[in-house]
Amino acid sequence: MSCWITGAGAISPLGTGMAAHQAAVAAGRGGIGAITAFPAQGFPIACAGEVRDATLPSGSARPEAMAQRALEEALLSAGLDGAAPDPRRALAFAIGKPTLELVPLARRSLGIAQPQALAAAHPEMERERAHWDMPALLDRLAARAGAAGPRYACYTACASGNDALGLGLRLIERGAADVVITGGTDAQVHPLSLLEFELLSALSHGPADNACRPFDRNRTGFVVGEGAAVVVLESEAHARRRGASPRAVLSGYGSSMDAFGLTKCHPQGRGAAQAMRAALADAQLPADALDYLNAHGTATVLNDQAEAAAIQQVWGAAAGRLPVSSTKAMTGHLLTAASALEAVLTLIALEQQILPPNLNFQNPDPDCRLHIITEPRPARVRAAMSNGFGFGGQNASIILTQAGAA
């Protein structure tokens, strides 16, 4: 069984609203730039994927404000009113964690005495902790969406967005809801959050114009981004009754868990391949039916190699012909919200019949033998997969098909 996507909304480093994201994909324009969210002089990380929307608040209110902005657009595009509570409307949403206390550890490990950024971050972090309340945030989103049915907060690291969509699909399949509001939000462009990943040697130190280079032989790590994306899922029967049309179809979902290490995925992509195969089976599609794959592609050495190995396991000799790109090169890594935004960018690929580019790819990696799309390219896109893989081996893949092509 599948469900229709009847609405979508997004805010990210590419801009505010779906039109801005469509334009960025068509132009091959990225949104990574120099950090402006905090005083970054002397800080070890110089760039991030920031949402440059002056109307948004900072601090702990930012993830919710971005989620509400994307939600408004998604409801409007779906033709749904969120004012009246509907017990047949559910919510499954990926929400990021609060910033961790890392000041003492950062000073010891990085040799940073008292940089301006950390000094300013410490009291801000305490305020964030005092106001962080995930259930309350979920309730406010549900209230605005009119979702009086089941409510779920998804946190499976960077697979969270796809797991939220997959949970929404399952709720509709088993008749627990007619409409599910899904998506994710995260805002970790914060000195303490950046230092958390710096201590793991996961971040790129490159200049903003080519800091994120997924699958490139010279990649050095990911760039942290922020944003929110919302997707409205609806049963076909419910959508038809109210005269709605599908923007695309969520046709398949697969998930797995490596349990290989605290932060590492399986080096041969064992769990990632399992999730992709499960999504294909759920969609009842052979691998060669896909026209595009939006890879997780973080631009870390090991993760990209593992994902490439998983793709080669699933597609075999045809892996070299499947168009692949990682849109994180455009947006940075939105962490908990990453695969939610990438689902929206995959939706744009289906609607606009264009392959999003993998920016900054110049030097092929012999350990990542894939057909990487480096520039926006018009193409026939009837079915596409989007991957979301997270720390500890959390894996989730979804398949979107063109409306009317399933």
133: left (phi over 0), alpha (psi -120 to 50) or beta: beta
> Exposure of 123 by Cβ count < 10 A (0-12 exposed, 13-18 middle, 19+ buried)?
exposed
- Which of the following is catalytic: 3, 47, 154, 158? 158
CA distance linking residue 111 with residue 118, whole number of Å: 12
- Which of the following is catalytic: 21, 190, 238, 296? 296
Catalytic-residue membership of 3 = no
CA distance linking residue 281 with residue 229, whole number of Å: 26
As beta bridge partners, residue 48 has 33
Which residue type sits at 78?
A
Whether residue 70 contacts residue 230, with contact meaning beta carbons closer than 8 Å, is answered with yes
CA distance linking residue 220 with residue 240, whole number of Å: 48
DSSP string, 267-330: TT-HHHHHHHHHHHHHHT--GGG--EEE----S-HHHHHHHHHHHHHHHGGGGGTSEEE-THHH
- What end-to-end distance do the CA atoms of the chain give, in Å? 11
Considering only CA atoms, which of 153, 224, 154, 229 is closest in space to residue 188? Answer: 224
Q: 323-325 and 292-294 as β-strands: parallel, antiparallel, unpaired?
A: parallel
Which residue type sits at 337?
A
Question: For 259, how many CA atoms within 13 A lie in the half-sphere containing its CB?
Answer: 2
Instruction: Tell me which H or E stretch contains 25.
Output: helix 18-27
Catalytic-residue membership of 205 = no
CA distance linking residue 303 with residue 163, whole number of Å: 19
CA distance linking residue 163 with residue 167, whole number of Å: 6
Catalytic-residue membership of 296 = yes
CA distance linking residue 342 with residue 216, whole number of Å: 20
DSSP letter (8 states) at residue 202? -
The CA-atom distances, in angstroms, between 245 and each of 83, 100, 236 are 21, 43, 9
Just list the catalytic residues.
158, 296, 333
